[in-house]
Structure 1
Amino acid sequence: MNYPIPDSTQEIMNWQQKPVVDEEMVAAAIAGVIKIVSSQGQSLDELTAQVLADDPLLSKQQRRWLSQVVTQAWDSFA
């Protein structure tokens, strides 16, 4: 993986300056979010509720898909 797993939301936000987003960046961001929220004591249920919350950026179908990806990633870290 070309991107280290971020340790903070600021590191993830700094990636907005990158001109290209690729699969590795997305995977590292998902891993970073899981790392951050679990270190803050949040559960998978809390994280998926946040992912599934209504948001203008992603459609309902995209949020469901992302929720499944996050769940699979969470399970692989457990």
Structure 2
Amino acid sequence: MNYPIPDSPQEIAELRQQPVDEEVVAAVIAGVVKLVRAQGQSLEDLTAQVLEDDQMLDRHQRRWLSKLVAQAWESFP
């Protein structure tokens, strides 16, 4: 992966300046998982946040994203 895993919300926000591709999305997901864990939150907490209704993603997309987040959660030590 060409992008390091972000260590802060600011580093995640900086990735918005990059063209969106699979590597940027993977780095952001990994960064979010890392930050959420550091804050003492659980996978269930993060999944609930991902599944919250919003204007950007429809229900199907939120479920798909929650599965990706869960896989990332399980993949990281």
TM-score, with normalisation over the residues of structure 2?
0.96
Overall identity of the aligned pairs, in %: 66
Contact 2:6 2:27 in 1 (8 A): yes
Q: Does 1:27 align with 2:18?
A: no
Task: Name the structure 1 match of 2:38.
Answer: 39
Moved over 3 A (4+): none
SS of the equivalent of 1:33 reads helix
Q: Distance in 1 between matches of 2:38 and 2:54?
A: 25
Alignment root-mean-square deviation, CA: 0.8
CA shift digits 1:16-65 (9 cap, x unpaired): 222x1110110011000000000000000000000000010011100000
TM-score, with normalisation over the residues of structure 1?
0.94
Q: Which segments of 5 or more consecutive residues in structure 1 lack a partner in the other structure? A: none
